Amino acid sequence: MGLMSGAVILIHVAIVLIFIDVNGWVDAAHKTANAHAVIGIIITIFITFQAAGGVLRPEPESEVRYVFRYIHSNTGYVILAFALLNIYLGSLLQHGVPVWSGYILLIFILFYLWMQFGYALVRRPNQVYDKNYASKKLTLTEFLFYAYIVMAVIFTIFLAALYGYTA
């Protein structure tokens, strides 16, 4: 819960810093910048509700827990979809960035979607962590998770280097 709270606080601080950096709202005439800003605010609002929902979630034995789980997880997927779209729109706003960087972003988005689909196929409903699981064998679910983390880190470093170099 501490990491989630910290992330939400940092997101709100980032929004304030962005408004300070661009001296308020972006120029409405620049449609890509305006769309990027609007989607960013929508994402921030949804993240705030997601965090509040996580804090107020019902107990595991509750009769409404399945409704919460359905709404909470699907809202998370919608937030991620908007975030991926907004990353792409933000990349279009960068000056001096090579055109091919958009293809790298598209590859990552497709990879992300493939990983989500793969995870959905191998995940058991109501999967529970078993502390007494004696085998140290890597499961397919764990493999997908670690593969995603490695690719996400590589992608993030690549984009940070690319956009930092061209800024």
Rounded Cα distance between 127 and 133, Å, is 13
Provide the phi-psi class of 17: left if phi over 0, else alpha when psi is between -120 and 50, else beta: alpha
Query: Is residue 153 pLDDT above 80, yes or no?
Result: yes
Our CA angle for 93, 113, 162, nearest 5°, is 35
pLDDT of residue 13: 94
pLDDT of residue 45: 94
Q: What is the pTM of this model?
A: 0.67
User: Mind listing the pLDDT tens digit for each residue in 30-47?
Assistant: 777 788 888 999 999 999
User: Mind listing the pLDDT tens digit for each residue in 105-133?
Assistant: 788 888 877 777 776 676 655 555 455 55
pLDDT of residue 132: 52
The residue ranges of every structural domain in the chain are: 1-93, 96-167
Counting residues of the chain whose pLDDT is more than 70, the rounded percentage is 82
